Amino acid sequence: MTQNNLGAALRTLGEREAGTGRLEEAVAAYRAALEERTRERAPLQWAMSLGNQGIALMRLAEQRRNLVGARQALTQLELAYDVFRDAQHVNAGYYAAQLSEAQKMVGRLTGSTTH
């Protein structure tokens, strides 16, 4: 939980800054959270950390105009959304909105770059 919360704080800071350092730190913090929050042990917590990491990856991909990163973010957000939707959890709506944003970004990057 601590690593997930750290990731959230770093992502918030990173979204406010011009550089990518804090977003990269957020991705790493979520990676550490996912080592403990496995899909088998805690599927909803896993989906939250995975989805939150996907959002941080999406912000990084946006700044870097990186199609590979955008697709990775999209995949993670799809997985997180599916878990919350299947559980009929209130977070499904939040991740659906993030998923829509990621789909639009992949579309923009597909039209503008080949990374």
2-112 is a CATH 1.25.40 domain: yes
| 114: pLDDT strictly greater than 80 | no
> Which residues have C-beta within 8 Å of that of residue 93, sequence separation ≥ 6?
none
C-alpha Rg value of the chain to the nearest Å: 13
Q: What's the average model confidence in pLDDT over 89-110?
A: 96
Q: Give me the residue spans of the domains in the chain.
A: 2-112
pLDDT in tens, 7-58: 999 999 999 998 999 999 999 999 999 999 999 999 999 999 999 999 999 9
**What is residue 113's predicted lDDT score, i.e. its pLDDT?**
52
CB-facing half-sphere around the CA of 74: CA atoms within 13 A: 17
H-assigned helices in the chain: 2-16, 21-36, 43-64, 67-86, 91-112
The residue that leads in pLDDT, 101 or 111, is: 101
Mean pLDDT, the chain, whole residue set? 94
**What is residue 40's predicted lDDT score, i.e. its pLDDT?**
96
**What is residue 115's predicted lDDT score, i.e. its pLDDT?**
46
